[in-house]
Structure formats: C-alpha cells, structure tokens
Amino acid sequence: MEFKKKKLANGLTLISEVNKSAKSAAVGFFVKTGSRDETGEINGVSHFLEHMLFKGTEKLNAFEVNEAFDRTGAQFNAFTSEENTVFYAAVLAEYLVEVTELWIELMRPALRDEDFNIEKNVIKEEIAMYKDLPSYDVLDRCRKLHFDSHPCGNSVLGSEEGIENLTAERMRDYFAKRYAPNNMVLACTGNFDWEQICSTVASCCSKWQKRTVRRKLGHCEGSKKKSSVEKSNLTCEYICLMSPSVSAQDRMRFSATVLAAIVGDDVGSRFFWELVDKALAEVATMQFGALDGTGAFCSYIRCSSDNVPKVFEIINDIFRSLSASGITEDELKTAKNKILSALVIKNELPIGRLVDLGFNWIYLGEYRTIEDDINAIRAVTADDIHLLIEEFNPGDFTQLSIGPAQPG
Amino acid sequence: MEFKKKKLANGLTLISEVNKSAKSAAVGFFVKTGSRDETGEINGVSHFLEHMLFKGTEKLNAFEVNEAFDRTGAQFNAFTSEENTVFYAAVLAEYLVEVTELWIELMRPALRDEDFNIEKNVIKEEIAMYKDLPSYDVLDRCRKLHFDSHPCGNSVLGSEEGIENLTAERMRDYFAKRYAPNNMVLACTGNFDWEQICSTVASCCSKWQKRTVRRKLGHCEGSKKKSSVEKSNLTCEYICLMSPSVSAQDRMRFSATVLAAIVGDDVGSRFFWELVDKALAEVATMQFGALDGTGAFCSYIRCSSDNVPKVFEIINDIFRSLSASGITEDELKTAKNKILSALVIKNELPIGRLVDLGFNWIYLGEYRTIEDDINAIRAVTADDIHLLIEEFNPGDFTQLSIGPAQPG
C-alpha cells in the first residue's frame, strides 16, 4: 500500500492508495455537501442534484453517460447524506482511467431544465417509497426531532411539496456554490497507475473555479423530546432513540464506536442478550454516527406492540446499569475484536477501502493507514468509555416510535 | 488460487480455494435444504431451524455460542432460501480454524424445547415485519402464484399460524433427515492452512451419520395467473412478474443471466431507458433466478399508481419487440461487460468467492475457476439469447401487484 496525494491550485485534492496485488480499482468523488448545507426552501436539493449528475453534461446526454459507464463495466453509484455527496465506481483495474475521466466530466453537469422537470417525478416517487418503509421513516423523523433546529436534522430527501416547488435555477445556484474544487476530494484505491491518474486530473480539472465554501458547524445536545406516530397498516412497532455524542474529528470517536458495539451490536451486545435473545424485540441495535463538529448515538428497535412497555423498561435498565457500573474488560475486548475484524475485511477490497480513505480526508484532512485505525481501536480503555458515558449520558435520549393504531 | 477437495466416508465434502495473498478467510456450510423440501404442515421449518442452530448444542448454550463467535471477531450470518440453508463467517486469517470448529459444533444443535418456544416468537415477529415491507411481500406472493403447486412456491418464512402450530419434535425430525453429512458441503476460501482444516473436519465430522436424502425435482412452467392486492397505507404500487427459465444446471444459465441484464439491469437496460429514465417507474429490474432443476425470470417494478397502465403497456412492448427483433450486438457486449466486472470484483474478497465456490459445488458437483465463468459469459452469443426468448417467452408472465386501495 502506498499513499500519494496531489493538490491542484484551485484546491481540488487527489488522494490515492495503490495496491498492486488487487484485480480491481475504485474511484470516488467526495463532495462536502448534504442536507445540513441546505436552507428550508431548497431542502432536498443535494440529493436531487446527485440524481441530476447522471443526466448529462454539455458534451453528453443521459443516454451517452450510461453508455460510457457500460463500456467500462463499472459498478457505480452515488449517495447523499446529511453532509456528504459521494459518487463512486469499482472497475477492473484496466478501466480506472476511463471511469475517472467520466466522473470528472459528470462533475460539471448541464442541469438542463427539461431533465430537471422529468427527474423531479423520480425524486417524488423516491420520497413516497421511503414513506412506505417504516424502518427508514422512523430514523428520518427521529433525526428531525433530535436535531430540532440544528441543520443535521434536515431531511436528506426533502418533502414532496418542497421538491415540487424547487426550481432548476435554484439548483444551479446551489451547485455553483457547493461543487467548488476546494470542497471536493477525488480518491482512488486498488490497482492503477498514479502518474496517469494525476495527469488526467490535472488536465481536466484545473479550469474549475475555486470558491469560498462555508458550513455552519456547532455541537448539538439534542432535544430529548418523546413522540409517536400511528400508521394503521403496520403490524409491529418501530422505535428510534438518539442521544448526543462526539464528532468525526474527536479523538474519542473510536471509544464511541466501541461503546455502541457493547450496547447494541447485532449480536452479543447488551441489547442483543436482553431484548433479541429473549424474543422481546426482533431487532435492537445501537450505532455511533460521527458528524462534522457533532455526533449522535442512534438506536433502532423493532418489536411487537405488546412488548413496547417491557422493551422500554429494559432499555432504561441497560442505560442505568451502564452509568452506575460501567462496562467489563470482557465486553471491551470482544467489542474491539469484532470492530477490528470488520475494519480489516472491509478495507481488503478497493471499493471498501475507498470509503474510509475518502472520509478520513474529508473530515480530518489526514491520511490514516489501516494500521493507524487498528491501533486507535486497540488503545481504547474502559476508562475512556466511562468518561464518554459520564459526559454524554446515552440513557437520556430523544425518542420516536411508529406503530399500528391503538384500539379505542 | 489452488483448489483442494476431500470427501469423508459419510459423504461430507470439504472444498477450498486457498489465496495466500488475502488478509482474511471465509468458511461456510452449504446445506441443501430449504422451503421447497418442506410439506405444508412444516412450512417455515428450514428458516426456523437456521435460527435454532445459534441456540446451542449439548456442549454450548446460546450465550457461549455468541461468546465463541465474539472471540474470533467473526462477521457471521446465515440465510435460508427455497433450496439452501447457508451458514458463513469471514474472519482474519488466523481465526479460520477456530471459527470452522465452532460451525462444526453448531451443525449438531441441541434443539431444546425451551429454546424452540422462545425463538418461535422471534420467527413470528420476523414474519410480521416482512409483511410491513411491500417489496418483500410482493415477491413472496408472486412466487406462490407463479410456482403454484410446485414446491418452489413455498414461502421461506412460513405463516404465523403455521409456525405457531409447529412442534420441536417435528423440527428435530426434519433436522435428522436434511442435515445429513452427504447433504452438506463445507467450503473455505482465502488465506488458511488446508491440511489443518482437513484434519479438523475429519476428526470432528466423521461420526456424523449418512442418510438417504431426496428432493422433488421437476421444471415449472409457471401459472401465468394475474392478481393484485390492496393495502390502504401504501403510497405507491409494487409489481412482480415471473416467467419460467432454465435451471442452475443448464448450460444456458449464462445466457439467461445476460438476457436478464439486457432487459432489466439497474441501469442501461431496456427497462431502465423506457421506464426509469422516463420517470414512469422508480425501480424496474429483471433478474434470472437459477434453481435446482428449474428456474425463473423475475421482474420487480415500483411506480406511482397513476402510471400502472402506461408501465404495463411499455413492458408488453419491450417483450414484444424482444420476441420480434431480438437483441443487438451492442446490448450483448455491454451486458457481458457489466456481468464480468461484477463477477471479478465480488470474487476478489474471500467471503464473496465463498458463495460462488459453494453454490457451484452444490448445484453442479463441480469446481469452476473464475476464469471458467468468465469464459462462459464471454461465449454467450445473440443466437443463444434468441433461442432462450423463443423457448421461454418472458413476455408471458405471472403477475402480482400490491398497491394502495383504489378510490370508490
């Protein structure tokens, strides 16, 4: 593994980790923009814009964009979160330059009115579809309730009404402000020729204009509100709990990851033994979500409506005992073991490695080897975890549930 | 890559492909049993049994099973389909023997009454949860409609009522019949020591008793029935179409994969251009499902209710034009390109390779290198595809849709 980086005069940063023994290679544009960077009037524009990048440029129409991807046989996609929009592709090693050139071309989209108007329907259908998914709906509503007026509470998809009222002009304006080269990172991993990628990027991207790009930062303590929603057709209860945590930049982020695994890993965690193994809940997990300047613990529980009171009793017991007695060395060791193994396996494939490489640069402006992250996880102590519990008290949470209408 | 195999006297087959440059290794038990091997009275038992294997053995209780997995840091899971139950784990290379020993132990579960009774609730909650997921529900109902009395139409999860009536005694009986060593394959991939795995397996599994195991085979032409279901809370329409195809053993299975990609790959396919790109459907895909002795093409479409008539008009046009004019050389080339790239990237990671290695042995009793599969896909011609269209006429399908209640 060899790390290389290059920064163009306009601020575009190219980073890469070459692995000559891989058969594939991966490339991704990491754009530091998402729903938290939107105002209410344009909520959903980041995600809509992500779709529009596939609709073509001055040189290519949507059909030609797809043909161009097809020629490389790429597995490609994109996703938008509260704070990032990421475009990526995995290809056989010999196609990396070709697919990188294609992404570079797409990063300067035409954003044509007619494409915008057609795609608007796709977005509205996507919003409708996610409303049919209670597991997504509960997270979306709980994030809003928890972050309240903090921009991280903004919905990624936006509302059908908001999208209906959005204009192509406003999207073009947002694009010009947020897709500046100094607000993006281009990352490559796997088997490829660094010099060739460098010269491609330098010749294609140097004309992109630098701009001043800002983001409102600030920690969020969370509203700690409790709310519930009834939906007549559902058969079980979907519960989301959120509480504040450290940021993506915080040295304690590794401790937060370990704490979440101890409380709510899929298996072997406290939630697992007390709720899932006892058949009180079908799913009960907790994750740490690291954000720019803030963070949150997020738990997700699915159970039958009858079990809701018992489930909350147990969850409260788990958090109380965590605050009172802390964690055991055994729990610490096995949680670390699982996190380390998942980390190494994920990073073994170029497309998996791409995501960690890109996000480390986006959040920290720093190259970290897998070994750096392994060592940071190994170094977490029970005392670190106890400090985190004391500071953030995960038992004091925002709570939202969606379930079937109650009789009467 | 080096292939090795060993067969014990009781019929248990151990296969492996060693890759010394990998950091991880993967192991999986492939048991040739699923919902198609169930009678109506025990429908859902294969999937329920998959859960029960984690509940412990004579030596280990459920808690100790999880502790044992945790010690290896394994990423482990299991899944049940119409015809297979697969248990797998990915670990850092040094843990492969330990996690393999654990799986071997679990393959002879205690199936205790008290565990069975608790887990019954988990299964019923899982059934309830999947009913809340229209994308799953539509596939499950369409499979039943299409396969009709053919056992491949059996629900994998079973019904809440059927599970309620199932006894532990019946499960133990099913287990004894289906988890015979001659009905299982143990596969390993990645970086590990073959001799060590061999001696572990020989010493732990040789006492397992061989049994006569049968499966009802037979091709299924499909019912070609049309049906729809109304659910008041939904916001959009979920459509599933099924038509017959070749089996997992058929030489033409590669052609069927290519045909499905041409018609309904996520992007760049006929469905994509005619339905998704035109914003008439949010998703429209077609896949080839290879089964033991039979097979099916399965399409999945999600769209707004208003668009349903137009969507069906276009789908019928697509299949008509396919029968009348066939495919183009360009379509053939790009579809192959995408399939090849996905194949190579998936197989680059030991856990990805495990699945192909195991299923090739389960269905064909044959070791195939990645190169064998690459060459088979490269060899597909437009004539092969045209023969397939002629023989199976994918436009003549079984159809099931789930959508919001119609006004009036």
Secondary structure (DSSP) of A378-403: HT--HHHHHHHHHHH-TTS-EEEEEE
Long-range pairs of A165-168 with CB within 8 A, sequence gap ≥ 24: A165/A41, A166/A42, A166/A44, A166/A45, A166/A48, A166/A120, A168/A111, A168/A112, A168/A113, A168/A116, A168/A117
A146 touches chain B (CB under 8 A): no
Q: What is the mean pLDDT of residues A343-354?
A: 92
B164 touches chain A (CB under 8 A): no
B residues 198..217 contacting A (CB < 8 A): none
H or E stretch including B256?
helix B253-264
Instruction: List pLDDT tens digits, range B38-85.
Output: 999 999 999 999 999 999 999 999 989 998 998 899 999 999 999 999
Q: Which residues of B touch A301 (CB under 8 A)?
A: none
| Single-letter amino acid, residue B232 | S
Crossing angle for the helix pair A329-348 and B62-72, nearest 10 degrees? 50
CA distance B294 to chain A (A): 29
Strands A24-31 and A226-230: unpaired
Q: Which residues of B touch A235 (CB under 8 A)?
A: 128-129, 131-132
A133 contacts B348? CB cut-off 8 A: no
A residues 242..301 contacting B (CB < 8 A): 267-268, 272-273, 276-279, 281-282
Burial of A274 (0-12, 13-18, 19+ CB in 10 A): middle
A366 touches chain B (CB under 8 A): no
> B123-135 as b/e, with b when 16 or more CB fall inside 10 Å?
bbbbbbbbbbbbb
| Single-letter amino acid, residue B254 | F
| Single-letter amino acid, residue A363 | Y
Side by side, which strands form the sheet with A184-190? A2-7, A13-18, A184-190, A24-31, A85-92, A75-80
| B57: three-class secondary structure by DSSP | strand
pLDDT of residue A233: 80
H or E stretch including B18?
strand B13-18
B334 contacts A70? CB cut-off 8 A: yes
Q: What is the mean pLDDT of residues A57-75?
A: 92
pLDDT of residue B407: 66
A341 contacts B91? CB cut-off 8 A: yes
B residues 67..86 contacting A (CB < 8 A): 67, 69-75
End-to-end Cα distance, chain A: 64
A vs B: CB pairs below 8 A? 165
Q: Which residues of B touch A24 (CB under 8 A)?
A: 344-345, 348
Mind spelling out the 3-state secondary structure of A240-299? EEEEECCCCCCCCHHHHHHHHHHHHCCCCCHHHHHHHCCCCCCEEEEEEEECCCCEEEEE
Question: B330 vs A274, B262, B406, CA distance in Å?
Answer: 56, 10, 42
Q: Are residues B314 and B275 in contact, defined by beta-carbon separation less than 8 angstroms?
A: yes
Which of B341, B346, B371, B402 to probe by mutation at the A interface, max A CB count within 10 Å? B341
DSSP A52-69: HGGGB-SS-BHHHHHHHH
Is residue A302 scored above 90 in pLDDT?
yes
- Residues facing B169 on adjacent strands: none
Instruction: List pLDDT tens digits, range A74-104.
Output: 999 999 999 999 999 999 999 999 999 999 9
Nearest to B136 by CA among B405, B402, B370: B402
CA B132 to chain centre: 21
pLDDT of residue B408: 53
Residues contacting B48, CB < 8 A, separation 6+ = B119, B120, B123, B158, B163, B166, B171
Q: Which of A63, A95, A236 sits opposite B125 (nearest CB)?
A: A236
Question: B387 vs A333, B245, B246, B382, CA distance in Å?
Answer: 58, 12, 12, 9
In degrees and rounded to multiples of 5, residue A406 shows phi and psi of -80, 140
Q: Return d(Cα A207, Cα B271) in angstroms, integer.
A: 37
End-to-end Cα distance, chain B: 64
Nearest to B193 by CA among B355, B11, B4: B4
Q: Return d(Cα A109, Cα B179) in angstroms, integer.
A: 56
Q: Which of B92, B125, B231 sits opposite A282 (nearest CB)?
A: B125
- Residues facing A75 on adjacent strands: A90
Instruction: List pLDDT tens digits, range A110-125.
Output: 999 999 999 999 899 8
Other residues' Cβ atoms within 10 Å of the Cβ of residue B207: 9
Averaged pLDDT of chain A: 95
pLDDT of residue A150: 96
DSSP B214-236: ------------EEEEE-TT-SS
Q: Return d(Cα A82, Cα A34) in angstroms, integer.
A: 5
Is residue A232 scored above 90 in pLDDT?
no
| Single-letter amino acid, residue A75 | Q
Chunked in runs of 10, what are the mean pLDDT values of chain B (408 residues)? 94 96 94 97 98 96 92 94 97 95 98 95 90 92 96 96 97 97 97 95 96 93 97 90 98 98 95 92 96 98 95 98 97 94 91 95 95 96 98 97 82
User: Which residue has 């064998």 as its token pair?
Assistant: B372
CA angle A93, A340, B20 (to 5 degrees): 50
Residues contacting A255, CB < 8 A, separation 6+ = A246, A380, A384, A385, A387, A388
Which of A341, A343, A374 to probe by mutation at the B interface, max B CB count within 10 Å? A341
A251 dihedral zone (left: phi>0; alpha: psi -120 to 50; beta): alpha
A residues 327..346 contacting B (CB < 8 A): 334, 337-338, 340-342, 344-345
User: pLDDT grade, residue A408 (50/70/90)?
Assistant: low
pLDDT of residue B279: 87
| A361: three-class secondary structure by DSSP | helix
Q: Return d(Cα B295, Cα B288) in angstroms, integer.
A: 8
A11 dihedral zone (left: phi>0; alpha: psi -120 to 50; beta): left
CA distance A222 to chain B (A): 29
Which of A159, A336, A348 to probe by mutation at the B interface, max B CB count within 10 Å? A348
CA distance A209 to chain B (A): 31
Which tokens sit at A125?
């259908």
**ipTM for this model:** 0.75
pTM score: 0.86
Question: A180 vs A107, B45, B85, CA distance in Å?
Answer: 10, 56, 50
Nearest to B76 by CA among B60, B100, B59: B100
Q: Which residues of A touch B303 (CB under 8 A)?
A: 125
Is residue A191 scored above 70 in pLDDT?
yes
User: Which residue has 């959120």 as its token pair?
Assistant: A242
A138 dihedral zone (left: phi>0; alpha: psi -120 to 50; beta): alpha
Q: Return d(Cα A12, Cα A187) in angstroms, integer.
A: 11
